Amino acid sequence: MRIAAYNVENLFDRARVFNDGAPGEVLDAFSELSILFEKSVYEDADRARMLELLEALGLLAGDEGPFVRLRRIRGQFLVRGTPIRIEAQGRGDWIGWVELKTEAVEETALLLTARTIFDAGADVLAVVEAESRPVLKMFQEQMARQLDLPETYPNVMLIDGNDRRGIDVGLATRAGFPIGRMLSHVDDLRPDGTPIFSRDCPEYEVTTPSGKVLVVLVNHFKSKFGGNSPSSRARRRAQAEAVAGYYRRLREEGRDFVVVAGDLNDTPDSDELAPLLAETDLRDVAEHPGFTEFEFRAGNGNRGIGTIGLGNDNDKIDYLLLSPALFDRVERGGLFRKGAWPGSRPPRWEVYPELTERQHAASDHHLIWVDLDL
């Protein structure tokens, strides 16, 4: 059987900042402003910085900027007078947030996302950054018709998570691999009362045709956007600690076949992922001698195991972590990159013929897969 994980970066609606090639400063400003909003007391320096960030995002004159929208639900946050000022004294004075504007994903990118998923041929697919279960089903049905393919994944499940942008994690499985018991951790909290997960870490039971039961934990950890601040690093480590705890519980319950899959938004040598990679017996499929099936052309000593961007080793942030019993059953594994932008001097891997411009890429992430004798 084949298990895969893929960050599709939304299917039908993608943040405009990614589609339009906006400068990275937009995401940095968005992230920093969101963090400042949550402070219980706004100091003078906080207010001054908020105004700078609002200006950078095009939100001083109105609540609609080119890439970001300011939502003000209740209370007085901002007064657009002379001068413009932050009226709120802290988080308790108002309800609102900033959100990234979305727009329809370009048609070629949609097509290549579908081809990547169908051509990779996974029996069990962990999907990251999908909008909803209906969207996953609709995407599959429409793309299968367009590509003249049968319905590949009749079993699809996604539980709404904590992200207001609707970038959730889900699971899709082929016929013969039914999804059984599901457990969400969307409401698990850190000691300070905030949610552990930016999205969720659902546990899905999947029964294989041979009758063996697999448990898949799908994840999308806190990103590094906004300068990888100490709070982002702490959130990612807390997420890793929580998932490690769930894994230990499952093993204590006698579950031998466990997979932690998805976008962990950090590299294998990071302190943030150490609770999973160094403090459990989970094994990264990329460490297996059979993990060799991926195309990569570059020098500088890179193996090419990165899972985002140009595939350099230090770009590895997507994972399939396997319990020892599963790691022992690995036959082969690799990365499917035909829908990812390959660079240009020279291209690092073969791509679909339609992929002639970067904005047509299926995703900036590369699908990671493993074949198991299970």
pLDDT band at 356 (very low <50, low <70, confident <90, very high): very high
How many domains does the chain divide into?
A: 2
In 3D, which of 60, 92, 63, 59 has the Cα closest to residue 75? Answer: 92
- Residue 244 pLDDT exceeds 80: yes
Residues 228 and 177 in one domain: yes
CATH number at residue 322: 3.60.10.10
How many other C-beta atoms are found inside a 10 Å radius of the C-beta of residue 213?
13
- Residue 163 pLDDT exceeds 60: yes
- Residue 127 pLDDT exceeds 80: yes
Boundary residue ending a domain (77, 103, 129): 103
Mean pLDDT of all residues in the chain?
Answer: 90
Query: What pLDDT, in 10s, does the model give residues 250-303?
Result: 999 999 999 999 999 999 999 999 999 999 999 999 999 999 999 998 877 888
Dihedral angle sign, alpha carbons of residues 66, 114, 167, 233: negative
Residues 67 and 213 in one domain: no
- Give 137's contacts (C-beta < 8 A, 6+ positions apart): 156
Boundary residue ending a domain (47, 82, 103): 103
Q: Which residues of 345-371 are buried (b: 16+ CB within 10 A; e: fewer)?
A: eeebbebbeebeeeebbbbbbbbbbbb
Residues 184 and 318 in one domain: yes
Residues 110 and 99 in one domain: no
Identify the domain containing residue 92 by its residue range.
18-103
Report, as an integer, the average pLDDT of 303-323.
Answer: 95
Residues 284 and 181 in one domain: yes
pTM recorded for the entire structure: 0.82
Backbone angles phi, psi at 343, to 5 degrees: 80, -175
Instruction: Give the tokens for residue 292.
Output: 């060799």
Report, as an integer, the average pLDDT of 312-316.
Answer: 94
Position 20 scores a pLDDT of: 56
Residues 180 and 241 in one domain: yes
Residues 63 and 201 in one domain: no
Residues 36 and 127 in one domain: no
pLDDT: which is higher, 298 or 335: 335
Residues 92 and 113 in one domain: no
